[in-house]
Amino acid sequence: MVELNFQADPNIVAEEPRDFPLLPDGEYKAMITDATVRTSQKDSRNNYLSVEFSFEQDGAGRVWSNLNLWNQNDEAVRIAKQELNSLCLAIGVMNMTDTEQMIGQRLIVDITTQPAQGNYKARNEAKGYKPLEKSAQPSPQVTTQTEVAAPTPAPQQPSKTQEENVW
């Protein structure tokens, strides 16, 4: 339990809800900042995993992806598992045992805009995931007894700008 010792003030009026700008469609460097299991408002028997992405760009905001991993609709579960698989591959976690394994992971998120529908405003949606950097794996050099293997090049030192860029 957390002790707050907070006194509410009836004279303080809540601010108007803020309207956050949408990101243009495209691929963005992101970090997973939260992953929480939530219950559906439409049907309390259905739970989903809400994954929060924060973006590198100043003021770019956040986008959430809701994965219907525990749903009565088998198609919704299949789609959610497919998306979670793509997310795990992008962050390099092959055996996801806890959502804590996601937190702090960096990746590329493909953002699209879901148009406004009914009472809902337009919103950004995560539609795909890629690893932040593809690590170049050297291909094995196969030689025969009559061939001489080419010398392996020395590793290059990172440039100063690469060292300063935490993303």
Q: How confident is the model at residue 137 (pLDDT cuts 50, 70, 90)?
A: very low
Q: What is the amino acid identity at position 142?
A: V
Q: What is the mean pLDDT of residues 74-103?
A: 95
Mean of pLDDT over the chain = 80
> 66 pLDDT exceeds 70?
yes
Measured distance CA(149)–CA(133) in Å, rounded: 29
Q: How confident is the model at residue 5 (pLDDT cuts 50, 70, 90)?
A: low
pTM: 0.69
> 156 pLDDT exceeds 70?
no
* pLDDT of the residue at 161: 45
Which two three-digit tokens encode residue 159?
């440039």
Measured distance CA(109)–CA(128) in Å, rounded: 6
- Percent pLDDT > 90 in the chain is 56
> 85 pLDDT exceeds 90?
yes
* pLDDT of the residue at 134: 60
Count of C-beta atoms within a 10 Å radius of residue 40: 15
Measured distance CA(128)–CA(123) in Å, rounded: 16
At 38, phi and psi to the nearest 5?
-130, 160
Spatial CA neighbour of 52 closest among 34, 29, 67: 34
Instruction: Assign 6 to helix, strand or coil.
Output: coil
Whole-Å CA distances, 114 to 41, 63, 103, 111: 20, 12, 25, 10
